[in-house]
Structure 1
Amino acid sequence: MVPRRLRGAPRRLLAAGAAAFTLAAGLALAPAATAAGTAPSTPWHGTPVCRELRVPVPDTPGTVAGRLCRPTGPAPDTVLVLVPGITYDRHYWTARPAPGVPSVQDAMAAAGLATVAVDRPGTGGSGRPDASAATLGSEADALHAVVGALRTGAGGPRYHRVVAVGHSFGSGVALTESVRHADVDALVLTGYGHGAGPLLEEFGRSLHPAAGDPVLSHEHPPPGYSTTRPGTRARFFHNPSDTWPGTVLRDEMTKSTVTSGELATLKDAYDPALAARVRVPVLLALGGRDQLVCHGPWLTCASADEVAGVERTLFTGTRLTAYLLAESGHAMEAAANAGQWHGFLAAWLRAQALR
């Protein structure tokens, strides 16, 4: 079955803050410096076994949809739930960043891990709630339903370890879910950091009603659903010198939406009190050229050590590792050398005994 929002014109890939924001962040490529050193690219061996996943969510129209991929052979013990940011859906995780470069779902399957790339409520094949009802909290609860289905085997194999992986606002959703429900084994927060970059406010002003957007208007988005104006995504999400041109075009043609409820609760995703309540291992990854989160007065992203030093003052109840993809913009999974990041991610997960 082809999800509703995957029919017709393509859709999305990435995201970052807006209206009442306080931050956002990114990932991508280049020589990958980290607080723990560098890591090689993950080898890619063939195509994973993938299928559609649908999970009923209380108080949400329809279901949460996603793409579940795993290596061939027996199901692994660990699954990563991939949550995209605003104005992106699952395409952020499923698309290859450049010819011959695997997506993160391909790369993690090669590393022996399963993944589920979800569409947040209101995007892709998931149900479309009223714009004011799609908030940080409601999406964290929807993610909780997905985690429960994976742990109980309702979505197929039963997974004993679940890692929540977010991008930008999706990282805030993953973080909130972990604090509220304490049901994931680790957090990977990408495009996320407690800083405000020079383009953050401009990004908020770039949003316009999705109903009038040439890419999304045919889907008849309801009131309160917005998206980026045509031709602006390269400026906010990518470093052109580190991004294949075809990827930027695809990003424009597959973009998704952000709701008024998400914008109203965006600042809550970056509440320092939320970070202080995390009790599972955290990997926080940013792009060195991220103009939405980095290059501000508090978080410059000059090095992984600097990022770790800043963020450890907030994530006081857990172990935090920082990773910096030096030349990447906000959209790490769109970077031409994203394989370097995938290699580090797989190595970090092995170090956490999440196999």
Structure 2
Amino acid sequence: MLIPVQASAVEAACQDLNIPVSLVDVPLLGLKDQTMYGRLCVPPGGSRTLQVLVPGGTCKSDYYDPPDLSETRSFRKAVNKAGYATLSVDRVGSGRSSKPPAALLSASAQANAVHHAIQAMRTGTVGPGFDKIVLVGHSLGSATALIEAATFRDVDGVVITGFTHRIAPLTVTPTLVALGPAMLDEKMSKIVGLDPAYLTTVAGMRYSAFHNPGPFDQQVVDSDEASKDLIAAGEIVDAVLIGLVLPYSRRINVPVLVAMGEKDGVFCGPLASDCSSAESLRQGEAGYYSSEARLRTFVVPGYGHSINYAPNAPLLHDAVTGWMTEMVGR
């Protein structure tokens, strides 16, 4: 059973970090030529346990703390109030992180970059240093988290949201057709120039791509639209190959929690994952993880893909913080 943690009423102390990283495992001459932006938030009294939060494609770090929305949609604040520090990052090629040519980006390259950030946070090269680190991902960020944890085995737990090992062929189309070249987008073209491999969502498509069939909330959709960002085409390719086709997640040797929206149109439904209950989700995903993962699952009722925007998102937050207390600790 996942037990929610008592919250602290005092705000966390936050700072912006620019972490030197590389898209390769062992950089030439040790040079880290990219920068990963992260917002580090530490609860009052400090914490020796950190969650590194990796957003999905076309999202950036504020997915975990959406601007202009009620606190109930802030994953970051819920985790901080439960007594854990957070580092919400922008994937390389998005947000305030560096923007290399999109051809250099893949889910594996992002996993290398996240690995360098984790090492910096653990050793205190950047930030205060942490004894335990849990890697949290959403959607494409979950594929990156799986690859990182399976490759480097340098984290103490993994939280996967918005990602299973089966794509929903009958309902994924609205998400796929929402993507278009970023160079044709008025806002994003100023960032990527003429790089054809950077993608973003077409204006007005966020609800159908990521929230449907959850309740339509104009304020939520407007916030998500205003925060939309980039994804490189290459990130999608090996996220599918390594995250879905190959059972790479079986290499993960620490506790894993998988959380999905009941109505996620990207991964759930006929011919895909059964997300109707936590138990059906667990049964479908258990074969992709080792016994060391001690797999736990959770389902947010009634919502689509981007579950942190759900009106009942506090259920997700309680599930994650309860799992943290039980499986990882402070």
The answer to whether TM tops 0.5 is yes
RMSD between aligned alpha carbons?
Answer: 1.9
1:223 shift after superposition = 2.6
Q: Where does structure 1 lack aligned partners over 5 or more consecutive residues? A: 1-35
1:203 shift after superposition = 2.2
1:316 shift after superposition = 2.9
Q: In structure 2, how many angstroms separate the alpha carbons of the residues matched to 1:103 and 1:188? A: 16
1:217 shift after superposition = 2.5
Number of positions where the alignment pairs a residue of Structure 1 with one of Structure 2: 318
Correspondence 1:264 to 2:237: yes
More deviation, 266-275/298-307: 266-275
1:109 shift after superposition = 1.0
Q: In structure 1, how many angstroms separate the alpha carbons of the residues matched to 2:270 and 2:54? A: 26
1:119 shift after superposition = 0.3
Match of 1:284 in 2: 258
Q: In structure 2, how many angstroms separate the alpha carbons of the residues matched to 1:288 and 1:125? A: 32
* 8 Å contact from structure 2 (residues 71, 77) kept in 1: no
Correspondence 1:186 to 2:157: yes
Three-state SS of the structure 1 residue aligned to 2:135 is strand
Counterpart residue type for residue 279 of structure 1:
N
1:299 shift after superposition = 1.4
1:285 shift after superposition = 0.3
Which of residues 102, 111, 116 is equivalent to 1:145?
116
Match of 2:203 in 1: 230
* 8 Å contact from structure 1 (residues 195, 296) kept in 2: no
Correspondence 1:253 to 2:226: yes
Counterpart residue type for residue 270 of structure 2:
G
Q: In structure 2, how many angstroms separate the alpha carbons of the residues matched to 1:110 and 1:312? A: 31
Q: TM-score, normalized by length of structure 2?
A: 0.90
Counterpart residue type for residue 161 of structure 1:
K
Q: In structure 1, how many angstroms separate the alpha carbons of the residues matched to 2:74 and 2:6? A: 11
Mapping for residues 11-90 of structure 1, pairs under 5 Å: 36=1, 43=7, 45-58=9-22, 61-73=33-45, 75-90=46-61
* 8 Å contact from structure 1 (residues 136, 269) kept in 2: no
Q: In structure 2, how many angstroms separate the alpha carbons of the residues matched to 1:195 and 1:330? A: 14
Q: In structure 2, how many angstroms separate the alpha carbons of the residues matched to 1:209 and 1:320? A: 37
Tell me which protein shows more helix as a share of its residues. Answer: 2
Give aligned-pair identity as a percent.
Answer: 33
Q: In structure 1, how many angstroms separate the alpha carbons of the residues matched to 2:149 and 2:157? A: 9
**Distance 1:282-1:350 versus aligned 2 partners, 3 A rule:** same
* 8 Å contact from structure 2 (residues 166, 273) kept in 1: yes
Correspondence 1:320 to 2:284: no
* 8 Å contact from structure 1 (residues 150, 159) kept in 2: yes
Match of 1:301 in 2: 275
Listed one character per residue, the Cα deviations across residues 75-126 of structure 1 (whole Å, up to 9, x for unaligned) are 2110000001111110111216842425111111110000000000000111
* 8 Å contact from structure 2 (residues 178, 206) kept in 1: no
Match of 2:27 in 1: none
Correspondence 1:351 to 2:323: no
1:345 shift after superposition = 0.8
Correspondence 1:156 to 2:127: yes
Q: In structure 1, how many angstroms separate the alpha carbons of the residues matched to 2:68 and 2:262? A: 18
* 8 Å contact from structure 2 (residues 135, 159) kept in 1: yes
Match of 1:274 in 2: 248
Q: Where does structure 2 lack aligned partners over 5 or more consecutive residues? A: 24-31
* 8 Å contact from structure 1 (residues 239, 328) kept in 2: yes
**Distance 1:241-1:208 versus aligned 2 partners, 3 A rule:** closer
Q: In structure 2, how many angstroms separate the alpha carbons of the residues matched to 1:102 and 1:131? A: 31
Listed one character per residue, the Cα deviations across residues 204-256 of structure 1 (whole Å, up to 9, x for unaligned) are 23311111113323324433101111111101211465453211111112101
Q: In structure 2, how many angstroms separate the alpha carbons of the residues matched to 1:120 and 1:149? A: 16
**Distance 1:182-1:165 versus aligned 2 partners, 3 A rule:** same
Q: In structure 1, how many angstroms separate the alpha carbons of the residues matched to 2:201 and 2:221? A: 14
* 8 Å contact from structure 2 (residues 53, 136) kept in 1: yes
